[in-house]
């Protein structure tokens, strides 16, 4: 049985979703699966150095895709055009012996245009995540509009494009919020399977605990410097927490100049270090140099960086919202309630100050988080929870278009 893993992005330099695609595909090959990775041609240079080129299928930009990318109005069509191209490429393979696994993006809204007759699995899906309501107009206008329009848009797209409703398996990592979204699109609950969104490499799980072992006040934070990552809240929390709490920000993005100015204005430029973009290969050493991890994201569907920090035994502070709230439940992390901005900053500051001042508690939180990571986050466990459905689909003979079931 051939498996086509479809992901718009795949690589080590393009964020969590792209890294997930590479790690999962590598795992399938290590299991001896007859798998191909279908992705955009922009990923070619890195991927051909990592995998047998015969296992890679690249989608080249056509005129329509290039025109859509150059247009702000047309840019939302880029993903749709990609999946249209994937449908054409997939027809090279015999539907009787092929599974189409649409891995990324995680959006439960985006149509995939799976060609009829193939066994189809989509996910993990973890969308329908928006800013906490208490933050009001902090969310960009487009985000607020999408939050209001999400359900009716899903109903409309579900009627126009039946690919999600016809998929044999829908992997759901976003819990109830994503299940509600898929139900609006006409997807049967019986085809939804709850899974984790991503895994952590065995090497990271086996890495010795950081030398600091949580006994200190240097917090790491990783991500692209855009509004929904909430880096400004972490900087404000450092200012409230006072001496003894430092922050190392790994990442880059359009908000970096404003964040640097905020640190200066609040008088904490000496406590906040902007370390720049962090290559995944440098993740372990970078986190080893810190005592704890903070994830102030405001609309995070999952939280791969948080999973990796927990795997390394760092105590984690995060908001009890979206993916980080799910990952840190049951003592795996210190979760700060969401609410008005001032309360969230105060809660973050208090949690960071408490961990910095109480090494025994920091060590305990880190140990619990690592135990959770070892029990649940390893790629072998996560990948098996996805890939077992390939064999189930083959045994059932269920293909796209077989009915809603």
- Indicate whether 124 and 214 sit together in one domain: no
Average pLDDT over residues 231-256: 96
- Indicate whether 164 and 232 sit together in one domain: no
Residue 105, preceding peptide bond in cis (omega within 30° of 0) = yes
- Indicate whether 193 and 256 sit together in one domain: no
Answer yes or no: is 403 within a domain. no
Least confidently predicted of 19-33, 87-101, 153-167: 153-167
What range defines the domain where residue 186 resides?
2-199+379-396
Q: Is the pLDDT of residue 283 over 60?
A: yes
Residue 17 neighbours by CB under 8 Å, 6+ apart: 7, 9, 104, 105, 106
Answer yes or no: is 301 within a domain. yes
Dist CA 66 CA 63 (whole Å): 5
Q: Is the pLDDT of residue 132 over 50?
A: yes
Strand partners, 194: 172
Answer yes or no: is 404 within a domain. no
- Indicate whether 49 and 193 sit together in one domain: yes
- Indicate whether 180 and 117 sit together in one domain: yes
The whole-number pLDDT of residue 129 equals 84
Q: Is the pLDDT of residue 214 over 60?
A: no
Answer yes or no: is 295 within a domain. yes
Q: Is the pLDDT of residue 15 over 90?
A: no
Answer yes or no: is 107 within a domain. yes
Answer yes or no: is 401 within a domain. no
SS3 298: coil
Q: Is the pLDDT of residue 405 over 50?
A: no
- Indicate whether 64 and 98 sit together in one domain: yes
- Indicate whether 23 and 99 sit together in one domain: yes
Answer yes or no: is 188 within a domain. yes
CATH number at residue 268: 3.40.50.2000
Answer yes or no: is 341 within a domain. yes
- Indicate whether 215 and 364 sit together in one domain: yes
Q: Of 214, 274, 238, 265, which Cα lies nearest the Cα of 353? A: 238
Sheet containing strand 334-336, edge to edge, reads 272-276, 246-250, 218-222, 292-295, 316-319, 334-336
Dist CA 249 CA 257 (whole Å): 13
Q: In terms of pLDDT, which residue wins out, 400 or 258?
A: 258
- Indicate whether 110 and 209 sit together in one domain: no
Least confidently predicted of 47-61, 139-153, 304-318: 139-153
Average pLDDT over residues 86-101: 94
Maximum CA extent, the chain: 64
Beta carbons within 10 angstroms of residue 277's beta carbon: 13
Instruction: Say how many domains are in the chain.
Output: 2
- Indicate whether 338 and 218 sit together in one domain: yes
Mean pLDDT of the chain: 90
List pLDDT tens digits, range 34-77.
999 999 999 999 999 999 999 999 998 877 777 766 666 666 67
Q: In terms of pLDDT, which residue wins out, 65 or 205?
A: 205
The whole-number pLDDT of residue 17 equals 86
Residue 307 neighbours by CB under 8 Å, 6+ apart: 198, 199, 200, 327, 373, 377
- Indicate whether 57 and 190 sit together in one domain: yes
How does residue 143 score in pLDDT terms, banded at 50, 70 and 90? confident
Q: Global pTM? A: 0.86
- Indicate whether 184 and 272 sit together in one domain: no
């Amino acid at each position: 049985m051939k498996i086509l893993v479809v992901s718009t992005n795949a690589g080590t330099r393009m964020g969590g979703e792209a890294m997930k695609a590479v790690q999962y595909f590598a795992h399938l090959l290590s299991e001896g699966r007859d798998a191909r990775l279908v992705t955009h041609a922009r990923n070619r240079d890195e991927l051909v150095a990592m995998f047998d080129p015969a296992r890679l299928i690249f989608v080249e930009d056509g005129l329509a895709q290039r025109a859509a990318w150059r247009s702000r109005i047309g840019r939302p069509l880029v993903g749709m055009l990609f999946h249209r191209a994937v449908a054409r490429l997939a027809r090279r393979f015999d539907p009787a012996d092929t599974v189409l696994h649409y891995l990324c993006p995680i959006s439960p809204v985006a149509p995939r245009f799976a060609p009829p007759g193939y066994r189809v699995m989509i996910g993990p899906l973890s969308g329908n995540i928006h800013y906490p309501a208490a933050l009001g107009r902090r969310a960009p206008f487009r985000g607020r509009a999408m939050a209001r329009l999400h359900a009716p848009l899903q109903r409309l797209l579900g009627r126009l494009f039946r690919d999600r409703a016809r998929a044999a398996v829908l992997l759901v990592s976003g819990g109830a919020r994503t299940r509600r979204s898929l139900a609006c699109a006409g997807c049967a609950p019986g085809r939804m399977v709850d899974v984790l969104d991503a895994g952590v490499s065995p090497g990271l799980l086996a890495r010795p605990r950081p030398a600091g072992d949580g006994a200190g006040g240097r917090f790491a934070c990783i991500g692209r410097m855009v509004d929904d990552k909430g880096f400004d809240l972490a900087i404000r929390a450092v200012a409230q927490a006072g001496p003894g709490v430092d922050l190392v920000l790994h990442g880059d993005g359009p908000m970096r100049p404003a964040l640097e100015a905020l640190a200066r204005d609040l008088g904490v430029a000496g406590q906040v270090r902007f370390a720049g973009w962090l290559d995944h290969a440098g993740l372990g050493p970078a986190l080893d140099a810190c005592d704890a991890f903070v994830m102030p994201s405001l609309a995070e569907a999952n939280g791969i960086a948080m999973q990796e920090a927990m795997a390394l035994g760092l105590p984690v502070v995060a908001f009890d919202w979206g993916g980080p709230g799910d990952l840190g439940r049951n003592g795996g992390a210190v979760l700060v309630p969401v609410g008005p901005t001032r309360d969230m900053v105060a809660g973050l500051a208090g949690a960071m100050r408490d961990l910095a001042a109480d090494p025994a508690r920091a060590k305990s939180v880190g140990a619990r988080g690592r135990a959770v990571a070892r029990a649940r986050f390893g790629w072998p466990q996560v990948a098996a929870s996805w890939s077992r459905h390939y064999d189930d689909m083959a045994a059932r003979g269920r293909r796209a278009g077989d009915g809603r079931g």
